[in-house]
Every structure is written in structure tokens, then in C-alpha cells.
A = this chain, B = another copy of it.
Amino acid sequence: MPHSKKSLASQRLSARIPNTLPAYQRIQSLIRKRIDSGQLQPGNCVPSERDLARTHRVSLMTARHALAFLEREGLVERRRGIGTFVAPPKIHFNKLMSYTEQMAARSLTAGAKVLFAKVVNNENEAAARLSLPPTSNLMKLERLRHATGEPFALETSYLDAAEFPGLLDAPIARESLFAILERDYEVELGYADEEVDATAADPFIADLLAIPRRDPLLRIRQVIYSTKGKAIMYALGFYRSDRHNLVIRRFR
């Protein structure tokens, strides 16, 4: 083969200066933008593999790769013999979100009253959940969540004190803990494993949440991991059952 791929590749590279991104990712982001901007509505058809290959000057396989990834993300649906279409509403199932973010997603603003914020070293269960020695120094942060003046939930969070110096001085009452971790500590949150069960309100929690004793509560224990699989935070939450329900999607 005379004029090798190399010449073609370097030709394209020299033509596009600020672009080290793979071609299929560029194509994806263009389509994503058209969807986000509303230019492409759910149900509308996305350019076919062959169209994309032609207009972006790439091979079929590359255009195909771009669409395959978008389909995997649930952004588009592909139908053999018909075409590729923008997928419907795009509801976020099984998304890891902070309480603040979840409220925001429902157009509510969540406040938080800090009940406790100190370093402790005698919480061995929390330490174990974080894969730390039993008497490790842990940041313990207890917050009462409320919205529209009503108390909604009690959340207690634990983090390795050695990993997040100064965290207790951050504006934890106002801002999302997730946002602080991601912005100020450059943590890449990856996923969380959660255990959910039901429990009855003990007198202490009942008082805080302004509900009768023994009322049912949703209890969620959550270990949050970084993208690299390191345990970042353990959170134990009690949620008023009349104000919360968990929505999840399971796959076969």
C-alpha cells in the first residue's frame, strides 16, 4: 500500500490544531451538544453511520463506534434497517447524588443544620466501612436535613481525617459535601454501595425529625468510593418515610 495511513493521519492532525481527542469522541460530543441544545428532540433521527462517516471524513467503523457508545449511555436508540434515534426523556436511574443534588433535581432547595462536626476516634464500625483501623481519626459530621421549614432526614457522614484536612471548616451547612470534595479536594467520585432497610424512629430521632416515636424510617448506609475504588466516605442516613421514596432500576 503506497501512501500509508500515516500520511493521512498526520494530514488530519495538522489540519486540526486544538484537537487531541479521538475522532469518535468528537463525533459523540457534537451529537450530545445537538441533543442538549434541543436541536435534536427525543424521537428525532440522528445522522446515519454513513452520513457521519462522510461528513466527518472518517471510516464507517469509527462513526459506528461513536453511535455504539452513545447507545450504551442510553442517549440514542438504534434500530436495524431504520436508523438511529434520540432516546426518550433520559431519566437518571441509579445515579449517585448528594442529598442537595437530589433535592435540586426536584426543584427544591435543601438546607442542613450541623448538629455535630468533630474528629472522633472511637467509631469502629464507621472505620471498618472505610477499610481503616478501628480507632482511626475520623471526621464525623451529623446534619439535620430540612426543606420548606420541615426536618426531613438525619445524615451522619464519616471521612478519613487524614485525607481531608480542613474539611470541617468548609461551608458544610450551605454547600453540598459532594461539591466540596470534588472541587476542593479533587476527589473523583465513582460509585456507592448502599444498604437499605426500614427501622422505627427511636425517641432521639423522633424528636429531631418531629415525628411520633416508632414511626417507620428508611435507613440507608452508604459507602462512597472514588473512581479508583478507594472508600471515601461512609454515610448513615435516616429518612422520614412520608417524605422519601427511593427509585431504582434493576436489570436482568
Contacts and interface: CB of A to CB of B under 8 A. Distances in A.
A239 B184 CA distance: 41
A244 B193 contact: no
B194 A95 contact: no
Interface in A203-247: 214-219, 227, 241, 244-247
Contacts of A190: 251-252
Contacts of A191: 249-252
A79 to B, nearest CB: 12
A179 to B, nearest CB: 12
Secondary structure call for the A interface: strand
A6 interface: no
B247 A96 contact: no
Nearest to A244: B197
Interface residues of A, number: 36
B241 A194 contact: no
A197 B214 contact: no
A247 B194 contact: yes
Nearest to A240: B198
Contacts of A72: 72
Contact of A94 (B214, B241, B251): B251
B250 A95 contact: yes
Interface of A: 61, 72, 93-97, 189-200, 214-219, 227, 241, 244-252
